[in-house]
Amino acid sequence: MRIITGKFKGRLIKMPQGMRPTQDKVRKALFDILGGIEGASFLELFAGSGAVGLEAASQGVKEVVFVENDPTCIKMLKENLSYLSLTAYRLLPIDAFKAVERLAKEKEKFDIVFLDPPYYKDMVPRLRPSTLRRCSVSMVSVAEPSTSLRTTFGRSGSMASRDDESLSKKTLKILSTYDILALDGLIVVQHFKKDNLPDVLGDLVLFKQVRYGDTMLSFYRKEG
């Protein structure tokens, strides 16, 4: 596997070549919309190399939980965390669905849950197979976390079998079943524009959508 490097606020990080990243512009837009997130607990499902979670850490969240089960992604995520001196973190190297179930059993709650599952090939026919793979952040640039943030992190994601539903919708169903979202928390789904997500799913209600090219960000919160 060829390794390329990107800058992380002046520090080089490694990433696998040819894997679909969360685009810089989409990530910036996400955190502009979220606004001040200091002190929040943050869960990143299907974390890849952890670009979004690392950005959250740089903006002052009290905890990040990374969920990723691909061995290549896990290796790269650990290298990025270590290189950035983020030594205290949690990482669940298991399927995202199993991770949500485990977190619910442990009665954990998160203020922000972010997920960016792999896109199906038939949903994005113009994309090369390599772009459907997880794991990379392409030329990521975020602020380094403060010293106080070097004490929390963790947990992992997965791929499910192909059928009529997208991974985004499947994961939302799991999240609506297992109560891991804080009362005033948000779930943010990054997905392909043609992946139509429900307006209401259990007690989760879609309240905002923004589009950036072929990418959508859908925001959910608990009803009431």
Answer yes or no: pTM beyond 0.85: no
Which three-class secondary structure state does DSSP give residue 87? coil
Do residues 50 and 82 lie in contact, with contact meaning Cβ atoms separated by under 8 Å? no
Q: CA of 64: how far to CAs of 80, 145, 193, in Å?
A: 14, 12, 27
Structurally, how many domains does the chain consist of? 1
The dihedrals phi and psi of 18, each to the nearest 5 degrees, come to 80, 25
Rounded average pLDDT over 37-57: 91
pLDDT at 81 over 50: yes
How far apart, in whole angstroms, are the C-alpha atoms of residue 91 and residue 154? Answer: 4
| pLDDT 10s digits, 97-125 | 999 999 999 999 999 999 999 875 444 44
Residue reference for tokens 């991974």: 167
pLDDT at 130 over 90: no
How far apart, in whole angstroms, are the C-alpha atoms of residue 25 and residue 105? Answer: 36
Rounded average pLDDT over 170-192: 96
Do residues 213 and 29 lie in contact, with contact meaning Cβ atoms separated by under 8 Å? no
CATH at residue 216: 3.40.50.150
For the residues of 119-159, what is the DSSP string, one character each?
PPGGG-TTS-GGGG-----SS---PPPPGGGTT--------
**Domain range holding 83?**
3-222
Q: What is the pLDDT of residue 80?
A: 82
